Amino acid sequence: MTAQYGWRAWTITTTATSGGTSGPVLGSPFHSTFITTGPTILACCGWGIPHDAPDPECECGIYAMTNRADLPLWCYPAEVVTRLALHGPVLPGLQDMAQGAFPGEVRAAGATIVGPCYISPHKAHHAQALAERYGTGFKPDPALAAQPSALTSALSLLRPTKRRTA
């Protein structure tokens, strides 16, 4: 079986860890409550509906883009971009453009951050702590510091905010 990979944009937030210390973690650019404190991410239905994620009849799953070049349409500005190894069933993302579908978007049952990982130069001071937490290096990428184009900004406003999961 061939491994499937995707690219995901993240924001950086700070959270308390089990040891009582705080540090930077990766969070969803769409849902402030979705963060990942380790390299492996498992999907669940954010609506509390009892089913395996992703489900063809739901919007749940770990979302990613199959091509990094498509991320500016999906989410920008991004503070971090990571490559993910996708686990379990991998389904196409939303199919209805009115719901915010993007060509090349997929959703998976789980994912592992495998790198390469890129960080905005403005956030590079978090690179070492993120590398220790997620087990892979974070390289500064000047493209992540660029301001989004007017088209990209407009497209991000059209993205629905009622996504069911991360």
Q: Residue 102 above 90 pLDDT? A: no
More confident residue, 97 or 140: 140
What residues contact residue 93 under an 8 Å CB cut-off, 6+ apart? 63, 101, 102, 105, 106, 107
Greatest alpha-carbon pair distance for the chain in Å reads: 44
Q: Do 81 and 118 form a contact (C-beta atoms < 8 A)?
A: yes
* Mean pLDDT of the region 17-37: 77
3-state DSSP helix/strand/coil percent for the chain, to nearest 5?
A: 20, 35, 40
User: Which tokens go with 10?
Assistant: 């993240």
How many Å apart are CA 121 and CA 50, to the nearest integer? 41
Q: What is the torsion angle, in degrees rounded to the nearest 10, for the CA atoms of residue 137, residue 140, residue 141 and residue 144?
A: 100
Contact 10, 113 (CB under 8 A): no
- Taking the chain, what is the end-to-end CA distance rounded to the nearest angstrom? 26
pTM: 0.79
The reported pLDDT for the residue numbered 155 is 47
pLDDT in tens, 79-92: 999 999 999 999 98
User: Which pLDDT does position 59 carry in this prediction?
Assistant: 82
Distance separating alpha carbons of residues 22 and 30, to the nearest angstrom: 22
